[in-house]
Amino acid sequence: MSSEKFDAVDIIGIKRDRGTLSPEQIDWTIDAYTRGAIADEQMAALNMAILLNGMSRAEISRWTSAMIASGERMDFSSLGKPTTDKHSTGGVGDKITLPLAPLVAVFGVAVPQLSGRGLGHTGGTLDKLEAIPGWRANLSNEEMMAQLADVGAVICAAGTGLAPADKKLYALRDVTGTVEAIPLIASSIMSKKIAEGTGSLVLDVKVGSGAFMKTEANARELAETMVALGKDAGVNTVALLTNMATPLGLTAGNAIEVQESVDVLAGGGPADVVELTVRLAEEMLAAAGLPDADPAAALADGRAMDVWRRMISAQGGDPDAALPRARESETIYAAADGVLVELDALSVGVAAWRLGAGRARKEDVVQAGAGVVMHAKPGAQVRAGEPLMTLLTDTPEKFDRAREALENAVVIAPEGSRPAQKLIIDRIS
């Protein structure tokens, strides 16, 4: 006879019938699944019931707490300075973490940026940084603390000890069609961020074709849920809804996004990348108690670049090394004169992925030099025969499928202008 406190079938039935799980039932469910007492097929059924019927704020908060309790919690109080972090829900060309972490650290705030790898059409911060010769993603907690004390910023892989329940649940959601469940997305992100021990958190919730959330309503619901979870856990949390209908910047790939980030740190780079980097830095610094800091000045005068170089060197990377370049390239040209009114983020992301910049499975290897360079963004005047995009890869047989992904990515209108789209749609606190 089982000595378990509850029965998985009963728990599934409660959510199937739109009931509410008690705190004790939630604690048991996460613990039992982590231990292996609940089978994958039972957890898959519960995930689907949650996707279809939702959860209350109290349920999501408890579910998140139970996931945090499955592992260790980090503590940065010994640093003697405020900590702040940013999480992006992922998009195409989203290299913001790279210039942002050193920029915020300029002001004496510690930035423990635990990042991930890319899967599918969204790029991974760690994959980008691994294009830098010698740079390493895996640091011990001791190395991370030492670097935060010395440099002030670290971008590294999360240790296996943070929210192990989430790792198991995430893999299951990925293969059972339940990734989109807002309570499960929110608790997945926030359990790791709260366990990480940051004092404040700024969320960049993307909206549009290249984002996880295609509609503003869904993105807003996710942002509000995550902000509430942060507040419940005592973490000062704010969210920005930002536009992901078009890629960020002019590159989607790994080494080419690192180069664009370095351009931003050198005081140049695309206007949209600079705008979002500065705005997120302002939010992070205000949340950390420095509302009057001026990150735009620190980007322009080279202070952020100094921290970047120290941060890369501290993790074994050579900030002066040449970045990998793809062996093969192919250019896509404008078919007509006019105004570029649309450049679809999802299409560009899929093309970069197919060229080798991303992975279809966790164990796939990425090409550092692969990706898409964009020569024009929406609003630009273009002429027939002008280059619109350059495709990069080491494996030229990949060009055909990348071109297929881009067949309907571009819309050129004969005349008139494209209404300006706001990069930052809203702020949720």
Tokens of residue 167, six digits: 């790792």
For residues 2, 5, 8, 14, the Cα torsion angle rounded to the nearest 10 degrees is: 140
Residue 394 zone, left/alpha/beta (φ > 0; ψ -120 to 50; rest): alpha
Please write down the long-range contacts of 139-144, taking CB distance under 8 Å and 24 or more positions apart. Answer: 139/315, 141/74, 144/112
Catalytic-labelled residue, pool 94, 166, 272, 344: 166
Catalytic status, residue 192: yes
Dihedral over Cα of 117, 170, 284, 224: its sign = positive
Catalytic-labelled residue, pool 121, 128, 167, 192: 192
Tokens of residue 348, six digits: 């560009």
Closest CA to 414 of 336, 332, 344: 336
Q: Please give the angle made by the CA atoms of 397, 398 and 404, to the nearest 5 degrees.
A: 120
Catalytic-labelled residue, pool 62, 86, 117, 173: 173
Catalytic-labelled residue, pool 87, 121, 128, 167: 87
Q: Got the DSSP string for 163-175?
A: -HHHHHHHHHHHH
Q: Got the DSSP string for 5-69?
A: SS-HHHHHHHHHTT----HHHHHHHHHHHHHTSS-HHHHHHHHHHHHHH---HHHHHHHHHHHHH
Catalytic status, residue 173: yes
CB atoms near residue 348 (< 10 Å): 28
**Whole-number Å distance between alpha carbons of 284 and 152:** 14
Tokens of residue 35, six digits: 């231990």
Catalytic-labelled residue, pool 70, 187, 188, 347: 188
Closest CA to 384 of 341, 332, 317: 332
Q: Are 329 and 392 in contact (CB under 8 A)?
A: yes
Residues identified as active-site:
87, 166, 173, 188, 192
